[in-house]
C-alpha cells in the first residue's frame, strides 16, 4: 500500500469553489480523504508530513486530441502560407520517415512536455500503423505498443484511439503516402485493434479506443463496423468532423448529407463519441450532437494555426453539448492557452465577452476531457477519484495578484504551462519543482525531432 498526504494552499473543488488549506490523502493512486480548511493562511496541518503544494491545485487536465508525431512540425510549416491542405503535405513528409523506435522517442518526449504543462492524460489519435509501403510490421501493432510504452515512461495515461483510415477521399483510392495508415477495410482494422486491446487494454494507464479518421477517409459502408467495435468494448470513439468547409462540400456532393448526419445514420454518435473540431456545423448538426450526447473536442490553437476557422463553441455549450480541449498538432502544448483561446475566439466572432467562463473551461479541461477518453474516474478532486493533482504558481509575473476569489479565472485567462510547478498522476509525482522525472525534456525533444527532420524529404 502506498500512501501520501498533500496540503494545497488553494484547490479548485468539484462545486466550482476554490477552497483554502485543502488536505488530500492518497492511497494506491486514489483520493481516500479530502478536507477543506477555511482559515486561508496556507499553513500545512500541524503534526503531519504532508507535501505542500502552493498556488492553486487543479485536477489533472486531459489533452483530448493529440497526434504526437506532429510535434516535429512545430515552427517548420510556416513558409509560403497556404491552407490546411498545404500543411498536410508537410505532415505526410514527417509520417513517411517514422518507424516504431523513432516514434517512441518522439512520443515519450512529447508526452513529457504535456505532463510539464499539467496534462495527466492524452487522447492519442493514432493512424500511423504499418510500413511505408503498407505492409504490416512483424508485430502489426508495433506503433501502438510504442505509444503505450511512451506514455507510461512519460508518466501520463493514454487513450490510444486507434484510427481506421481507408480512402484518400470520397470515392478516391489511397495515395501512396497514405498506404501505411490503412488496414484495407474496417473488418481488418477491427481484427488488428482487437489484438491491440488484448495486449494493452487492461493496463491501468491505458485505454484502447477507436477512431474514424474522417468521413472522407472511411467509406460510409465501413463506418458502422468501427462504431460497432467501439460499442462492443464500451470504448471511446473519436472522429475528425467538419474541420474544413471543403470536407462538408465534398460530403454533401457524395452523400447529400453533412458529416454529422452521415455519422448519426451509421450509429457512430453517442456519449462515448467525440467529434473533433466540429468547426463548420449546421443548426441540425448541433441538434444531432446534443441529442446523442456526443462530446465536441475543440483544438483552438491548431484551428488558428491552420486557418480552419472558429467553431460554434457558444452554440454547442448553450445546447448542452459537453466540450473538451486538445492540442492536436501541438502548435502549442498549454492547457490554459487552449482554454482561453476557446473563449477569446468566440469574442472575436461575436464582438461580445462572456461565453465560456473559467469554471466551464476548467470542466472541459478536466472532468469532461478525462471522461471523453474513458477515464471517468478522473478530473475531480473528490474521494474515490484518481489522484491527479496539478499545482499552478500564483506568484509568477502572469498570475501575480490572484486571490482565492479570482484564482481560477487568473489561471485560466492568465497562466501558462510554465506556471505549473508540480504534477501528480495516479498518486505518482511526475513533475516536481517544474522538473520532469525523465530529466531534460527539451533536450529529449531536440534529439527526437532532429531524428525525424534529418530523414524527412
pTM of the full structure: 0.96
CA distance 66 to 219: 23
Of 70-79, 103-112, 120-129, 445-454, the poorest mean pLDDT is in 70-79
Of 75-79, 210-214, 240-244, 443-447, the poorest mean pLDDT is in 75-79
- In this predicted structure, the answer to whether residue 214 has a pLDDT above a threshold of 90 is yes
Which one, of 140, 157, 159, lies nearest residue 100 by Cα? 140
Three-state SS for 291?
helix
- In this predicted structure, the answer to whether residue 47 has a pLDDT above a threshold of 70 is no
CA distance 57 to 55: 7
Which pLDDT score, from 0 to 100, does residue 40 have?
Answer: 44
Q: In this structure, are strands 206-212 and 119-126 parallel, antiparallel, or unpaired?
A: unpaired
- In this predicted structure, the answer to whether residue 172 has a pLDDT above a threshold of 90 is yes
- In this predicted structure, the answer to whether residue 293 has a pLDDT above a threshold of 70 is yes
Q: In this structure, are strands 323-325 and 295-298 parallel, antiparallel, or unpaired?
A: parallel
Three-state SS for 29?
coil
pLDDT mean over 279-300 = 98
CA distance 120 to 68: 15
pLDDT mean over 429-448 = 98
Q: Quickly state the pLDDT bin for 445 (edges 50, 70, 90).
A: very high
Which pLDDT score, from 0 to 100, does residue 76 have?
Answer: 80
**Strand extents, DSSP E, 37-97:** 51-58, 61-66
Which residues are within 8 A (CB) of 435 and not within 5 positions of it... i.e. 6 or more apart?
none
H or E element, residue 255: helix 245-255
The count of other CB atoms within 10 Å of the CB of residue 182 is 21
3-58+378-435 belongs to CATH 3.30.360.10: no
Which one, of 154, 215, 224, 45, lies nearest residue 425 by Cα? 154
Sheet holding 61-66, edge to edge: 61-66, 119-126, 157-164, 206-212, 237-241, 273-277, 295-298, 323-325
pLDDT tens for 114-148 read 999 999 999 999 999 999 999 999 999 999 999 99
Which residues are within 8 A (CB) of 283 and not within 5 positions of it... i.e. 6 or more apart?
none
- In this predicted structure, the answer to whether residue 378 has a pLDDT above a threshold of 80 is yes
Which pLDDT score, from 0 to 100, does residue 78 have?
Answer: 83
Q: With the CA atoms of 76, 78, 84 and 90 taken in that order, what torsion angle do they form, in degrees rounded to the nearest 10?
A: -30
pLDDT mean over 369-398 = 98
Q: Which residues are known to be catalytic?
A: 277, 328
Per cent of the chain over pLDDT 70 is 97
Q: Quickly state the pLDDT bin for 455 (edges 50, 70, 90).
A: confident
Which pLDDT score, from 0 to 100, does residue 456 have?
Answer: 67
Which residues are within 8 A (CB) of 88 and not within 5 positions of it... i.e. 6 or more apart?
none
Question: C-alpha 19: how far from its chain's center?
Answer: 27
Which pLDDT score, from 0 to 100, does residue 75 have?
Answer: 87
Residues 61-372: name the CATH superfamily.
Answer: Metal-dependent hydrolases (3.20.20.140)
Which pLDDT score, from 0 to 100, does residue 39 have?
Answer: 43
- In this predicted structure, the answer to whether residue 457 has a pLDDT above a threshold of 70 is no
- In this predicted structure, the answer to whether residue 110 has a pLDDT above a threshold of 90 is yes
- In this predicted structure, the answer to whether residue 80 has a pLDDT above a threshold of 90 is no
pLDDT tens for 254-277 read 999 999 999 999 999 999 999 999
- In this predicted structure, the answer to whether residue 336 has a pLDDT above a threshold of 80 is yes
Per-domain residue ranges of the chain: 3-58+378-435, 61-372
Which pLDDT score, from 0 to 100, does residue 221 have?
Answer: 98
Amino acid at each position: 500500500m502506498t500512501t501520501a498526504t498533500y496540503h494545497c494552499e488553494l484547490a479548485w473543488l468539484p462545486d466550482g469553489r476554490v477552497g483554502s488549506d485543502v488536505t488530500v490523502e492518497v492511497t494506491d493512486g486514489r483520493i481516500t480523504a479530502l478536507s477543506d480548511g477555511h482559515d486561508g493562511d496556507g499553513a500545512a496541518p500541524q503534526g503531519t508530513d504532508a507535501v505542500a503544494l502552493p498556488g492553486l491545485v487543479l485536477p489533472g487536465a486531459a489533452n483530448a486530441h493529440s497526434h504526437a508525431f506532429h510535434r516535429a512540425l512545430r515552427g517548420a510549416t510556416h513558409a509560403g502560407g497556404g491552407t490546411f491542405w498545404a500543411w498536410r503535405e508537410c505532415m505526410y513528409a514527417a509520417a513517411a520517415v517514422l518507424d516504431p523506435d523513432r516514434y517512441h522517442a518522439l512520443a515519450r518526449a512529447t508526452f513529457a512536455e504535456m505532463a510539464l504543462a499539467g496534462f495527466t492524460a492524452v487522447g492519442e489519435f493514432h493512424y500511423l500503423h504499418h510500413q511505408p509501403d503498407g505492409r504490416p510490421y512483424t508485430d502489426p501493432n508495433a506503433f501502438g505498443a510504442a505509444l503505450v510504452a511512451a506514455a507510461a515512461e512519460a508518466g501520463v495515461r493514454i487513450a490510444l484511439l486507434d484510427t481506421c483510415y481507408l480512402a484518400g477521399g470520397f470515392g478516391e483510392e489511397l495515395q501512396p503516402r497514405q498506404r501505411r495508415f490503412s488496414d484495407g477495410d474496417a473488418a481488418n482494422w477491427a481484427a488488428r485493434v482487437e489484438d491491440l486491446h488484448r495486449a494493452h487494454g487492461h493496463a491501468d494507464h491505458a485505454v484502447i479506443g477507436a477512431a474514424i479518421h474522417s468521413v472522407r477517409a472511411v467509406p460510409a459502408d465501413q463506418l458502422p463496423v468501427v462504431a460497432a467495435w467501439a460499442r462492443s468494448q464500451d470504448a471511446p470513439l473519436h472522429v475528425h468532423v467538419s474541420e474544413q468547409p471543403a470536407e462538408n462540400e465534398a460530403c454533401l456532393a457524395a452523400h447529400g448529407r453533412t458529416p454529422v448526419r452521415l455519422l448519426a445514420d451509421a450509429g457512430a454518435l453517442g456519449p462515448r463519441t467525440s467529434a473533433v473540431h466540429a468547426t463548420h456545423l449546421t443548426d441540425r448538426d448541433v441538434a444531432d450532437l446534443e441529442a446523442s450526447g456526443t462530446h465536441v473536442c475543440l483544438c483552438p490553437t491548431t484551428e488558428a494555426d491552420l486557418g480552419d476557422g472558429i467553431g460554434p463553441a457558444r452554440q454547442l455549450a448553450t445546447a448542452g453539448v459537453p466540450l473538451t480541449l486538445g492540442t492536436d498538432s501541438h502548435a502549442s502544448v498549454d492547457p490554459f492557452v487552449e482554454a482561453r483561446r476557446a473563449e477569446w475566439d468566440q469574442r472575436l466572432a461575436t464582438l461580445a465577452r462572456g461565453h465560456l467562463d473559467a469554471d466551464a473551461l476548467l470542466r472541459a479541461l478536466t472532468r469532461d476531457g478525462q471522461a471523453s477518453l474513458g477515464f471517468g474516474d478522473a478530473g475531480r478532486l473528490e474521494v474515490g477519484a484518481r489522484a491527479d493533482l496539478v499545482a499552478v504558481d500564483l506568484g509568477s509575473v502572469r498570475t501575480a495578484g490572484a486571490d482565492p476569489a479570482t484564482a481560477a479565472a487568473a489561471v485560466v485567462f492568465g497562466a501558462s504551462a510554465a506556471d505549473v510547478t508540480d504534477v501528480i498522476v495516479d498518486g505518482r509525482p511526475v513533475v516536481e519543482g517544474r522538473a520532469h522525472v525523465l530529466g531534460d525534456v527539451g533536450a529529449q525533444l531536440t534529439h527526437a525531432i532532429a531524428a525525424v527532420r534529418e530523414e524527412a524529404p
